[in-house]
Amino acid sequence: MKKVLIANRGEIAVRIIRACHDLGLQTVAVYSEADTDALHVHHADEAVCIGEAPSIKSYLKISNIISACEITGADAVHPGYGFLSENANFASICESCGLSFIGPSPQAIALLGDKSRAKAIARSVRCPVIPGSEGVVRDIESGLKEAHKYGFPIFIKAVAGGGGKGIRIAYSEEDFTKKFVAARAEAEVNFNNPDVYLEKMIVNPRHIEVQIMGDKSGHYIYLGERDCTIQRRRQKLIEEAPSPCVGESLRKKMGQAAVEIAKAAKYHSVGTVEFLLDESGHFYFMEVNTRIQVEHTVTEELTGIDLVQWQIRMARGEKLPIRQKDVILNGHVIELRINAEDPHNQFAPSPGYLEHYVPPGGPHVRVDSACYGGYRIPPNYDSMIAKLIVRGRTRAEAIAHAKRALNDFHIHGVHTTIPFHQFMLQDTRFLTNEYSISYIDQLITDGCTFDQSQTADPSKTDRN
């Protein structure tokens, strides 16, 4: 492997370019017309414009990306996250063009990317799964039969969905009848596949995901879990590791379950197995993310293992240099996603010109970002400005470091979610770990606009 083309943009493209350069590999950036001044374009050794601003004309345009490999002589492609990273067809095309796809095989992507097939794999290795339909539910009648088996509320989920999209909740039979049809229509439009499956809605769960790595020689390790329970409309805002709700024995059980699932799917590369943890400490398989994730940084800081670098190394056939017993989880790490959104105004997107951008630094602080002072955040893509990752010996210490880092993060020109994080870091429920996956949505429903003067009163907000 000599030259890697990064089929992505933004902070993850910057991250991947850094890992490639750490390994002495050449890099090629691709960019749309909206990204001519993007940081990843400046960091890469070469850059190729691949299309107009809309993703479908650029970052999703497989032919232009493959051609860019051709004209630059790139011999490997890293797909990042989102875009084409979980597109088995793209992975397959790369292979047939003699390009090394830095990720799992097209077959593993297709298998685990199909939510109901992934669930079947989990069942086959005796991993607990969320009660739900064993496959696609084709009509309202069979759907209602299923629903009665495990009771409402019920999720109606698109088989080809992802990133928290394509999900509806039905609270009753009548509700189900309406939402079933709507869910199928939405799935068809968004994912080209109307198929849906049903899943019991676990009440007040925590979102716990396990990072795994597997090399091409069949060695696997898990790198502990990440707790991503603080979400707004299924978009993660805060991630931390270790999870305050997971003890040693549960960590081992979940880690082993995750590895067994990866093995059964013949999955190599890095990946994440997502679980829900209910109030009584039972875990249930949810889905597998067959790519590097946004919050991989949390595990990197906790374990000291460079996941992106190792993802590249394993793609070129290197074996994992460590075994499970060598994995050490050191201290506590918290990641805060700083997005160009206004938390005081329903998180309305706020693209625009960064008049002022000064990230924090010093010990215990890491910032992964593609922004800089003078950069204009384009409106065509996600709203991420930066990932702020802090560490400490304990959760309390990490929180103290996070408060300092947030205060030092000076961004002017756009609205940011910094005030949201400052609010959360002194929110009683967050500090005492008494929240579940619907906490933020519930706060918003109750009228919270995340002003620090307006601290949430635990007695007013129901646990769910």
Partner 1 sequence: MDLDQVKEIMGIVEASKVKKLHLKKGDFELQIEKADEHLPAAALPPIYHPPRAAVAEIPETMFHSEHTSKGGKRAVETAIDGKFVISPMVGTYYSSPAPDQPSFVKVGDKIDENTVVCIVEAMKVMNEVKANVSGTVAEVLVESAHPVEFGTKIFRIV
Site for partner 1, rule CB under 8 A: 33, 37, 39, 41-42, 45-52, 58, 63-68, 70-72, 97, 372-376
291 is catalytic: yes
How far apart (Å, rounded) are the C-alpha atoms in residues 368 and 297?
8
Residue among 373 and 458 whose Cβ is closer to partner 1: 373
**In the complex, minimum distance from the CB of residue 76 to partner 1, in angstroms, rounded to a whole number:** 17
Q: Which of 251, 291, 313, 391 is catalytic?
A: 291
Tokens 């292979």, residue located: 95
Dihedral sign computed on CA atoms, order 277, 306, 47, 360: positive
Residue among 45 and 397 whose Cβ is closer to partner 1: 45
Residue among 69 and 333 whose Cβ is closer to partner 1: 69
Residue among 64 and 107 whose Cβ is closer to partner 1: 64
With b meaning 16 or more CB within 10 Å and e meaning fewer, what string describes 420-440?
bbbbbbebebbeeeebbbbbb
**In the complex, minimum distance from the CB of residue 44 to partner 1, in angstroms, rounded to a whole number:** 8
Residue among 51 and 360 whose Cβ is closer to partner 1: 51
Strands (E), 233-324: 235-241, 269-277, 283-289
On the CB side of 448, how many CA atoms lie within 13 Å of its CA?
24
Residue among 13 and 47 whose Cβ is closer to partner 1: 47
Show the tokens assigned to 191: 């994912």
Kindly write down the DSSP assignment for every residue of 374-419, as one continuous string: T-EE-TTS--EEEEEEEEESSHHHHHHHHHHHHHT-EEESS--SHH
Show the tokens assigned to 225: 């879990």
**In the complex, minimum distance from the CB of residue 51 to partner 1, in angstroms, rounded to a whole number:** 5
How far apart (Å, rounded) are the C-alpha atoms in residues 450 and 417?
10
Show the tokens assigned to 21: 């350069």
**Which amino acid is residue 171, in one-letter code?**
Y
Show the tokens assigned to 213: 């790595």
Q: Taking CA 76 as the corner, what is the angle to CA 74 and CA 82, rounded to the nearest 5 degrees? A: 115
Q: Which helix (H) or strand (E) holds 90?
A: helix 88-96
Catalytic residues: 291
